[in-house]
Amino acid sequence: MARVPITVMGYRCERCGHEWIPRGGIGEEEPRVCPSCHSGLWNKPDKKARMSYEAFRDKIAATLRKTGQPLTWTEVRTTANLPQAFPNNQWVHRMETDIGLVRRRESDGVIHWLLKDATLDLGTSEAPKASNKVGASARAKQGALE
């Protein structure tokens, strides 16, 4: 007897990645839960796909370099096709040192993102001014202490 490959259709859990072959035949209905993680949402993709800091940082840097001009967060998010509505503040602060991210608040209150090496290209000889990072609640506490 010759050995031949046989392909059988099965299922894969979108949550844990477990793959299995159904017990019954073709006419059997879909399983209700994953046999490994017991998730009832085994066939629904995870809405909050986690993105690592490195992937986030690289997408931001590539987008800002490609456009060559300051962008707002909404423009960065749309261009880079990022899932988050708001950036992670800790990651943004890390990017300031890692890739030289500069956030500049304009006179109309709009915050533009750009890379530090791009500030020289824009004809700005001086370093960008640091924004006031003290929030309203911190100022209220500080005023109460004085």
Assign a CATH topology to domain 8-47.
Answer: Rubrerythrin, domain 2 (2.20.28)
pTM for the whole structure: 0.52
Residues carrying CATH 2.20.28, the chain: 8-47
Alpha carbons 102 and 116: distance in angstroms, whole number: 6
The 10s digit of each residue's pLDDT in 119-137 is 555 444 444 444 444 455 5
Give residues with Cβ within 8 angstroms of 100, minimum separation 6: 115, 116, 117
Q: What is the CATH number of domain 53-131?
A: 1.10.10
At 115 the three-state DSSP class reads strand
Residue 102 bridge partners (DSSP): 114
The 10s digit of each residue's pLDDT in 41-90 is 998 877 666 788 999 999 999 999 998 899 999 999 999 988 888 888 99
* pLDDT of 142: 52
* pLDDT of 141: 54
Q: What letter represents residue 18's amino acid?
A: H
